[in-house]
Amino acid sequence: MADSSTPLSINTGNFANSAEHRRHVDDVLKEELGHLYVGVPGFFEAFFKGVPGLRLAAQAVFDKCKEGDSPLYQVQSGWLGWPEGAKEKEVLSWVAPLTDRLLDLAEGHRPVSRIRRRPLAQPHQPLQGSTADRKLYIAFVNDPNASADSKCRWSQILIPGELKSNPSADKASKAWLDLSRYAREVLAAQDSRRFVLGFTLCGSLMRLGGIASEQFDINKDGLQFVSAMLRFLWINDEQLRFDPTIITVGDKRYIEIERGNGKERLVIDRVIKRVPCVAGRATTCWKAYQEEDPETPLVVKDS
């Protein structure tokens, strides 16, 4: 008999359908998400305040975008080459090369750390690593050499995005739900990920997150768009909400714990189980061992 003091809850981590078709998952996912907080004032500043030199770099890059006989950005018309009607395929063809151009203009302003990611658009190619076929319009991935022909996995997706041609699709039942599906796949595939940052672009209206920023028009607020793109490219792993207690050195991952009078390292061997959900405890179990005793297997549980 269930303990009446424990409230019953359901999320996609309890989902039993092994095929995970959208028609089966969506209703459960909507219930799991509950109310999405959008238009949160100060979201940009709060989330990205740890990126060194970002404000000055974004302003410098944006100023360069307005220079020359054929500037990338004009106050009257917005971004050069922005597709009329904002059809998804045309927007994809527009945004990736523009992001590369912004990176070139940011040379000399970027942080010391090497850029290890780039935008990738593969709207017709399912990503590897999920139970059902899942496609993703656009994302920032952890491979700086990724191309349209690359075979990417959900474990490589750092920041997923969703595109809609119609600005009215910027709502819970459309773009936000699609973005939530992507977030679930990312969280399931990345065992040290605690949260997922994403973005939607509906027409020219952009929004960041599920607990989301205020909506802005990228053709009217070009500086905000430049700032968002550079943020996506420059934030570090902790700002991407990877668990900072899991330390990676080369191909080895470990957790440091304090026991007795000293520290011990628990080296992670592999994931045993991770509950795939968006909002919940996402209980994860790893097979591990003490660094000085690799022959004795241990189980580490995090929830």
Is 240 within a domain? no
**CA–CA distance, 134 with 140 (Å, rounded to integer):** 16
The candidate with the shortest Cα–Cα distance to 145, out of 123, 126, 118, 127, is 118
pTM above 0.75, yes or no: yes
Amino acid identity, position 264: E
Whether residue 141 contacts residue 117, with contact meaning beta carbons closer than 8 Å, is answered with: yes
Which range is most confident: 15-19, 91-95, 145-149? Answer: 91-95
Top-confidence residue, 96 or 58: 58
Place of tokens 């919940």: 280
**CA–CA distance, 198 with 207 (Å, rounded to integer):** 9
Task: For 260-300, write each residue's pLDDT tens digit.
Answer: 888 999 999 999 998 888 877 788 999 999 999 999 999 99
Whether residue 20 contacts residue 194, with contact meaning beta carbons closer than 8 Å, is answered with: no
Alpha helix (H) residue ranges in the chain:
22-33, 43-48, 54-65, 88-105, 177-189, 222-234
Is 158 within a domain? yes
Same domain, 187 and 136: yes
Residue 218 has pLDDT above 70, yes or no: yes
**CA–CA distance, 166 with 154 (Å, rounded to integer):** 27
Same domain, 211 and 253: no
Q: Which pLDDT score is estimated for 21?
A: 60
Whether residue 71 contacts residue 65, with contact meaning beta carbons closer than 8 Å, is answered with: yes
Same domain, 228 and 256: no
Pick the range with the lowest mean pLDDT from 76-80, 144-148, 243-247: 144-148
Q: Which residues form the domain of 69?
A: 43-234
Tell me what the mean pLDDT of segment 252-262 comes to. 90
Residue 240 has pLDDT above 80, yes or no: yes
Whether residue 102 contacts residue 194, with contact meaning beta carbons closer than 8 Å, is answered with: no
Contacts of 209 (CB under 8 A, 6+ apart): 40, 43, 47, 197, 198, 199
Which range is most confident: 5-9, 81-85, 148-152, 280-284? Answer: 81-85
Confidence of residue 68 (pLDDT cuts 50, 70, 90): very high
Name the domain count of the chain: 2
Q: Which pLDDT score is estimated for 23?
A: 65
Place of tokens 């922005």: 82
Across all residues in the chain, what is the average pLDDT? 84
Top-confidence residue, 45 or 284: 284
Confidence of residue 12 (pLDDT cuts 50, 70, 90): low
The candidate with the shortest Cα–Cα distance to 65, out of 76, 79, 84, is 79
Domain stops at, among 182, 209, 234: 234
Same domain, 217 and 251: no
Domain stops at, among 176, 204, 234: 234
Pick the range with the lowest mean pLDDT from 14-23, 99-108, 240-249: 14-23
Residue 6 has pLDDT above 50, yes or no: no
Same domain, 155 and 224: yes
DSSP state of 262: E
**CA–CA distance, 270 with 243 (Å, rounded to integer):** 16
Q: Which pLDDT score is estimated for 137?
A: 82
Q: Which pLDDT score is estimated for 3?
A: 46
